[in-house]
Structure 1
Amino acid sequence: MSIHRNQWILAMLLIIAPFISGCWDYTEIDDQIIISGIAVDYDQESKGITLTAEITLPTFSGKESNFNSKIYQGKGQSMLDAIVDLASKAGRHLLWSHAKVLILSQEIMAQENLFIGVMDWIKRTREIRDTIWMLVAKEIFAGDILLKSNPQTQKIISAYLDGLFLAQKSETFLSVPFSKFIDDLESDSVCSALPTIRLEDSSNGILPLLEGTALFYRNKEVGWLDGKQTRILSLLMNHLKQAVFAPEPSGNQNLKGVSLKVDNCQTAIQPVLGPKGLVMKIRVKMDAQIGEIDGEQDVFKPDKIKKLIKADQNMIKAQIKDLLRLLQRNYQCDVTGFGNKVAAKYPKLWKEIKNRWRNEYAAIPADIRFKLTIFGSQDSMKETKVGP
């Protein structure tokens, strides 16, 4: 009896050993290829997909280790076909969990079935994280961003772009992860927005330049915002953390060349149902300091500070109005999620208007109030003068 009992215990130990001794699904890293970023283009010839992938390769020199990148491409009639083709050329298992960026071409987004297939694959696969950054290549092939970029400060293009997004210090582009984009894409009211990227020659190599915003209703591109308009969009979305405004207020020639450095900005947008219908209530509070004074001018006298605040408030308020006019009348694109706030606050009204929301949104007036505070130390409130 004891022999049978010992045999039974031994069998149980053999069964549970993999679960208590480590990862039973462990795969050698040498058997895998690490994908750091991908780009998806529409292949005009095959009417399918061209998938460009940047892979990360470790290199060793003595006791030091570094990383380089290599580019592979795959083609197919669907995203899965292109991945299979890519894997066959790579010769090893593809590891997607380290992918940082997904660059889409304008052409692939216009192909509804292919575009939805790409989004569906990313959504369903367990390997790609929903924090992967989304971008649109502006007027070039998406794959060219990975193939032709050559920033001297970073050998891995995807890591270079990931660093820009994580820093979140630029006011000229949005940082949009896949989770945010897919939520907006599936929304009844919200238009989706993606940062645009292009290539630019510079003394530091061929750089991938992030600037501007592409606006989409479903998979159709309805408009584009430049860097300055994107800055105001970030303000409306309450995402503006740091920015520089260089106003030139008309009628105040002595205040030209005075730039503001924004240190804090808070924006609240709420729907208000009045006797004439919905109103977009926008409240902005901005704290800033004098960033730069072009020329010798004493702008820190109380009367000039008041003029500067008034001029800057009017300028930024006018930029907000211009952007809203563009979003509402030209693009009919609710990219700030105002419709979601209407649905939450006035659910009965929302049921009546949600099917015609784009038309309703275009006609909603805005009530904008903007408060600017300029502050600084005594040292910063001294103009720079050239000696005699």
Structure 2
Amino acid sequence: MKKKLIILTTIITTCLTCTSCWNYKEIEDEYIVAGVSMDYDSQKDEIVINLEIVKSELKEKEMAIKSKVIENRGPSFFDAIRNTVQTSGKKAFWSHCKVFIFSNSIIENTSMFMSALDFIRRDPEVRDDAYILVSRDPLAKDVWDTDVKITDITSFYLGDMLENEKNISTYHATEIWKFINALEDDYISPTLPTIKKEKYLDKTISKIHGTAVFKETNIVGWLDGNETENFLLLIDELKGGVYTIDIKTEDETFPISFEILSSKTKLSPSINEGIIQINISSKIDVNINEYSSLTNLFNPNGLKLIENQAKKSITKDVTTLIKKAQKELKSDIFGFGRVVKINMPEVWRNFEDDWNKEFCNIDFTFDLDFEIKGSALKSRPLKVVK
């Protein structure tokens, strides 16, 4: 009986004392950060941050969600953030932050770049699945000054674009944890998607397109949208998008747009006379979604012609991309080192101290299986009556 009484007392005491949130905060005491851009002022040796914060407004008797951009600066990222208290009167709340946008000037300043990354990784409020972008504009803060916005919160709009990368595949969305893991690995070089302001008709928009290639903490080059698509194929991350390829017949040359239904890539290493070789095997299934000729190739021989020419075109582009990574970028963005480390650990131990140098000298083969699965709703081209 005494034992039961002790247990009951313990349960009642626990229920009465442990029912509240230990880190409870009033939302009115902080401002919600949706995104942040970072620039470097070389004259003052300061980091300049622009925070897009979320605020609510009463408009026509209805509550509307708007955004406001707050700028501040300091000798470090954390110092600049805390200085915003002087201008806003509130502390930043980071759990809803979607994007961190770095300018090239920040990345070139290694200490500033690493300082910001360390805060992002260390702060308990920042989510590891937030995205990192590199601005191709001189100032990263220009991303907040655009004409076309699908939503009132630019950061949420950019976050939605990054989450839907599989529908376009001209950039590779990279979360914080993935980028930092790649920085700390010795067998793969990190990459980040890029963003740039562009003119569209008479408007200015922010466009996510292409890839920044890193070697350690330095940007060593860039990939355009088409190169990024083939990069995604090689790292087995191509989930969708479009391939547009010129097809040649005896009478004409015309483009066909293929919708990527699925793709799969396998890498296997081998070694011959001390030279590492990476054997790449890819399979791409597509639909014909746009056909710009009156010539009917929707027959077994015609479809085989299309498949062979598409295979040849993609193989050429992939080969060019790998050689660019080896000769120009000198950076293993494909994870070839990881494949060697996992499958041939004894060989890896001979090259791990200087893998980027060895990566530039390895051989590779590329085998592609390109298969047309269908042609959407139509099985023939447009027929024009003469």
TM-score range, shorter chain: over 0.9
User: Using a 3 Å threshold, how does the CA distance of structure 1 residues 252 and 56 change in structure 2: closer, same or farther?
Assistant: farther
**SS state at 1:247 partner:** strand
Task: Give 1:188 shift.
Answer: 1.4
Contact 2:288 2:375 in 1 (8 A): no
Which of 158, 162, 175 is equivalent to 1:165?
162
Q: Which runs of 5+ in 1 are unaligned?
A: 1-8
CA distance 1:92–1:176, change in 2 (3 Å): same
Q: 1:106 to 1:253 in 2, by over 3 A?
A: farther
TM-score, structure 1 length as denominator? 0.92
Separation in structure 2 between the aligned mates of residue 276 and residue 35 of structure 1, nearest angstrom: 53
Aligned partner of 1:341 among 339, 342, 359? 339
Q: Is this contact kept in 2: 1:254–1:297, CA < 8 A? A: no
The answer to whether the 8 Å contact 2:275/2:363 transfers is no
Instruction: Give the aligned CA root-mean-square deviation in angstroms.
Output: 2.1
Distance change (3 Å), C-alpha of 1:124 and 1:253: farther
- Would the aligned equivalents of 1:247 and 1:315 in 2 still touch at CA under 8 Å? yes
Q: Is the 8 A contact 1:151 1:204 kept in 2?
A: no
Deviation at 1:167, TM superposition (A): 1.5
Between 356-365 and 98-107, the greater mean CA deviation after superposition = 356-365
Which residue in 2 is equivalent to 1:312? 310
The equivalent of 2:41 in structure 1 is 43
Q: Tell me how far 1:16 sits from its aligned partner.
A: 6.9
Counting matched residue pairs gives 376
Task: Name 1:386's counterpart in structure 2.
Answer: 384
In the alignment, structure 1 residue 125 sits paired with structure 2 residue 132: no
Q: Give the superposition deviation at 1:177.
A: 0.4
- Aligned partners of 1:105 and 1:270: how far apart in 2? 37
Give the letter aligned to residue 324 of structure 1. I
Segments of 5+ residues of structure 2 without an aligned counterpart are: 1-8
Which of 168, 189, 192 is the aligned partner of 2:190?
Answer: 192
Q: For the Cα contact (< 8 Å) 1:171–1:240, is it kept in 2?
A: yes
Match for residue 149 of structure 1? Answer: 146
> Which of 209, 212, 221 is equivalent to 2:210?
212
Cα–Cα, structure 1 residues 16 and 245, in superposed 2: closer, same or farther, change >3 Å?
closer
| Map of 1:374 onto structure 2 | 372
Could you tell me the percent identity over the aligned residues?
Answer: 28
Residues 362 and 143 of structure 1: is their aligned pair in 2 closer, same or farther, counting only changes over 3 Å?
same
Answer yes or no: is the 8 Å Cα contact 2:307–2:370 preserved in 1.
yes
Q: Which moved more, 1:368-377 or 1:179-188?
A: 368-377
From 62, 65, 68, give the equivalent of 2:63. 65
* Equivalent-residue separation in structure 2 for 1:86 and 1:144 (angstroms): 19
Per-residue CA deviations over 1:235-273 (Å, capped at 9, x if unaligned) read 111111112222224565545222222211111122222
Letter in 1 for 2:331: C
Given candidates 296, 299, 311, the residue that maps to 1:298 is: 296
Whichever residue aligns with residue 189 of structure 2, its letter is C
Match of 1:356 in 2: 354
Task: Work out whether residues 140 and 198 of structure 1, in 8 Å CA contact, stay in contact via their aligned partners in 2.
Answer: no
Which structure 2 residues correspond to residues 133-282 of structure 1 after superposition, within 5 A? 133-146=131-144, 148-168=145-165, 169-203=167-201, 205-249=203-247, 253-254=251-252, 256-282=254-280
Deviations 1:176-200 (A, max 9, x none): 0010100111111311101111111
Alpha-carbon distance between aligned partners in 1 of 2:34 and 2:216, rounded to the nearest angstrom: 27
Deviations 1:38-81, CA, capped at 9 Å, x for gaps? 01111112112111100001123356332110010111111121
Q: Which residue of 1 aligns with 2:284?
A: 286
CA distance in 2, matches of 1:241, 1:346: 29
When residues 193 and 378 of structure 1 are mapped into structure 2, their CA distance, relative to the original with a 3 A threshold, is: closer
Deviates more, 1:323-332 or 1:81-90: 81-90
Compared with structure 1, are the counterparts of its residues 271 and 377 closer, same or farther at alpha carbon in structure 2 (3 Å cutoff)? same
Cα 1:298–1:115, aligned 2, differ >3 Å: closer, same or farther? same
Stretch deviating more after TM superposition (220-229 or 257-266): 257-266
Segment of structure 1 superposing worse, 255-264 or 372-381: 372-381
Distance 1:221 1:357 in 2: 18
Q: Is the Cα contact below 8 Å between 1:259 and 1:293 reproduced in 2?
A: yes
Q: Provide the C-alpha distance between the structure 1 equivalents of 2:272 and 2:196, rounded to a whole number of angstroms.
A: 44
CA distance in 2 between partners of 1:252 and 1:318 (Å): 22
Q: What amino acid sits opposite 2:334 in the alignment? A: T
Residue 82 of structure 1 aligns to which amino acid in structure 2?
A: A
Alignment of 1:5-154 (within 5 A): 17-20=16-19, 22-61=20-59, 64-146=62-144, 148-154=145-151
Q: Aligned partners of 2:109, 2:269: CA distance in 1, in Å?
A: 35
Displacement, 1:379?
Answer: 4.8
Question: Is the 2:289–2:375 contact (alpha carbons within 8 Å) kept by the matching residues of 1?
Answer: no
Confirm or deny: 8 A CA contact 1:328 1:363 kept in the other structure. Answer: yes
TM-score, length basis structure 2: 0.92
Q: Indicate if the aligned counterparts of 1:271 and 1:281 stay in contact, CA closer than 8 A.
A: yes
Contact 1:195 1:212 in 2 (8 A): yes
Amino acid at match of 1:23: C
Aligned residue identity for 2:199: D
Give 1:124 deviation, angstroms. Answer: 0.9
Which residue is 1:331 aligned to? 329
Q: 1:5 maps to which residue?
A: none
